[in-house]
């Protein structure tokens, strides 16, 4: 059981390192605007996350729902120390991946917001400003005053 848990934790630590590298690559691609490459990279990221979750559930099943640190506390020091180090590496890796994913999400939302504002501005320039811009006879009609000038006291 020790070997199964150790190997699974080792794979999780390596997967989180690779996941962080993939997320950094995604960030660089977002900055460069290479959307086709981002889509391909997303498949790799999702598959790696799926495999990491499978490894995590393997450890949970091996410990029958117990915790890794509780299991490590029951082992002799020469077996306990590597498990604790791996667990600490996994924790640090998860935090690093979380920060990078948050950065990527913020950049993606900022780019979406920028694209939306640009599209709205271009659409506003191309489309008529109001529905009643064109008259019944097919010609352009100037915007009427919203209120009568004489009644409001203006000449």
Across-strand partners of 94? none
What is the C-alpha to C-alpha distance for residues 135 and 142, in angstroms, rounded to an integer? 9
In this predicted structure, the answer to whether residue 128 has a pLDDT above a threshold of 70 is: no
Question: What kind and span of H or E run contains 26?
Answer: helix 2-32
**What are residue 134's phi and psi, to 5 degrees?**
-95, 135
Rounded CA-CA distance 40/16 in Å is 19
pLDDT tens per residue across span 61-85: 999 888 999 999 999 999 999 999 9
Q: Where are the alpha helices (DSSP H) in 33-76?
A: 35-62, 68-74
Q: What is the pTM of this model?
A: 0.76
Question: Does position 103 have pLDDT exceeding 80, yes or no?
Answer: yes
In the prediction, which pLDDT does 116 show? 92
Identify the residue with better confidence: 40 or 134.
Answer: 40
What is the pLDDT confidence band of residue 19, given thresholds at 50, 70 and 90? very high
């Amino acid at each position: 059981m020790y070997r199964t848990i150790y190997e699974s934790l080792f794979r999780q630590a390596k997967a989180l390192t690779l996941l962080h590298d993939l997320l950094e690559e995604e960030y660089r691609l977002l900055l460069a605007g290479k959307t086709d490459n981002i889509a391909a990279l997303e498949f790799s990221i999702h598959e790696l996350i799926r495999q990491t979750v499978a490894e995590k559930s393997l450890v949970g099943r091996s410990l029958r729902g117990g915790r890794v640190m509780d299991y490590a506390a029951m082992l002799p020091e020469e077996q306990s120390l590597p498990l604790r180090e791996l667990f600490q590496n996994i924790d640090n890796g998860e935090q690093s991946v979380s920060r990078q994913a948050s950065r990527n999400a913020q950049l993606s939302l900022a780019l979406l917001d920028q694209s939306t504002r640009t599209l709205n501005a271009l659409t506003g320039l191309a489309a008529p400003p109001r529905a009643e811009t064109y008259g019944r006879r097919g010609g352009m009609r100037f915007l009427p005053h919203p209120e009568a000038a004489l009644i409001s006291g203006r000449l």
